[in-house]
Amino acid sequence: MMRFPISKLLAFAAMTAMAASLSAQQTEKPKPEDTEIWEPVPAVVTPGANNTAPPSDAIVLFDGKNEDEWVSAKDHSPAKWTVADGVLTVSKDPVNGGSIETKRSFKNYQLHVEWKIPENITGSGQARGNSGVFLASTGPGDAGYELQVLDAFGNKTYVNGMAGSIYKQAIPLANPARKPGEWETYDVVWTAPTFNEDGSLKTPAYVTVFFNGVLVENHFELQGQTLYIGKPFYKKYDSAPIKLQAHGDKSEPISFRNIWIRELP
Ligand code: MG
């Protein structure tokens, strides 16, 4: 009679048990219900007309009537840009003008903005309809995070500073700009950066931008604030207003309309 060492017999028994359990698992066939999730149910949102008007859960930042949601970025006095015919136009007046920002602060959001380079625009390069949507205006002395606004219809400039760029960080994936005098749209998804207690970066900011419905920034990871000179860096903030830029160039001021935002968790 052949004799097996006890250890071999035990190993054989364990393998037999494993095989039995495996075959039991195989007989329990997966069901469609195993991968269905029923709760929580997403909130009902009524979409805006043509998918450009504010949906029912949006905060309207400019509805064509007044600047109630905006203040001067310089001193937080009431915004004094021009509101006429449903349109908000930049004021470059050295006393009453300057950049404006929202009274409210935001973290993560979806933003819709429409803007127009005037038909009679003059100037060239960065001095031709320059403005900007600062996705987080983090405070005086900070550069913030700028999505560039500029004439991009045959107007040559550095490509990481053209319309659709995250200023000096991200070149747009395409140039869908319309000609001056026509309305353009930005639809933005902004994921704010997060910071550790000591001010160091925990997670970077990400941005996705559709320009006239065309994807130009695809979940781009920012390296920090968008600086005019020097390398980008992060500085701790919690939530921040959105700023519209009154650029100091001499070209005709640009206009905005239909600005709304949806805060995201
Ligand atoms: Mg700008």
Model pLDDT for residues 178-213, shown as the tens digit of each residue: 999 999 999 999 999 999 999 999 999 999 999 999
Residues 133, 259 contacting (CB under 8 angstroms) = no
Give the rounded percent of residues in the chain with a pLDDT score beyond 90: 85
**pLDDT of the residue at 96:** 78
pLDDT above 90 for 95? no
User: Which phi and psi (to 5°) does residue 216 adopt?
Assistant: -115, -20
Q: pLDDT band for position 102 (50/70/90)?
A: very high
In-domain check, residue 40:
no
Q: What confidence tier does 1 reach under pLDDT thresholds 50, 70, 90?
A: very low
Residue 186 CA to ligand 1 centre (angstroms): 14
Residue-number span of the structural domain to which 24 is assigned: 6-35
Give domain status of residue 159, yes or no: yes
Q: Is residue 211 part of a domain?
A: yes
Instruction: Please compute the mean of the pLDDT values over residues 67-96 and round it to a whole number.
Output: 94
- DSSP summary character for residue 40: S
> Are 225 and 147 members of one domain?
yes
1 in any annotated domain: no
Cα(259) to centroid(ligand 1), Å: 18
Same-domain status, 115 and 163: yes
61 in the same domain as 91: yes
Q: 128 falls in which pLDDT band (50, 70, 90)? A: very high
The total domain count for the chain is 2
Answer whether residue 69 shows pLDDT above 60.
yes
CA–CA separation, 51 vs 44, rounded Å?
15
| pLDDT (mean) for 124-151 | 96
* Whether residues 18 and 59 fall in one domain: no
**Is 43 a member of any domain?**
no
Partner residues linked to 210 by β-bridges: 187, 215
Q: Ligand 1 center to residue 137 CA distance, Å?
A: 13
Distance 264 CA to ligand 1 centre (A): 26
Q: What is the mean pLDDT of the chain?
A: 93
Q: Beta partners for 263? A: 109
Whether the predicted pLDDT of 130 surpasses 50: yes
Examine the pLDDT at 217 and tell me if it is beyond 80. yes
Judgement on whether residues 15 and 86 belong to the same structural domain of the protein? no
Query: Is 24 a residue whose pLDDT tops 80?
Result: no
**Ion ligand 1 nearby residues (CB, 5 A):** 130, 132, 245
Query: How far is residue 10's CA from residue 153's CA, in Å, rounded to a whole number?
Result: 78
Predicted local distance difference test score (pLDDT) of residue 27: 75
Instruction: Please give the pLDDT value at position 166.
Output: 98
pTM for this predicted structure: 0.88
> How would you label 230-263 residue by residue, b for 16+ Cβ within 10 Å and e otherwise?
eebebbebeebbbbbbbbebebbbbbbbbbbbbe
Measured distance CA(127)–CA(258) in Å, rounded: 25
Q: What integer pLDDT is reported at residue 6 of this predicted model?
A: 60
Let me know whether 247 and 126 are in one domain: yes
Tokens in use for 24? 């039991």
Rounded to the nearest whole angstrom, what is the distance from the C-alpha of residue 125 to the centroid of ligand 1?
11
Q: Coil, strand or helix: which one is 259? A: strand
Q: Residue 246 C-alpha to ligand 1 middle, in angstroms?
A: 8
- Half-sphere exposure in the Cβ direction for 145 (13 Å, CA): 28
Q: 148 with 254: CB under 8 angstroms?
A: no
232-261 average pLDDT score = 96
Residue 62 lies in a domain: yes
pLDDT tens track for 151-181: 999 999 999 999 999 999 999 999 999 999 9
Q: Where are the beta strands (DSSP E) in 6-78?
A: 59-62, 70-72
In a domain, 44, yes or no: no
Q: Are residues 31 and 56 in the same domain?
A: no
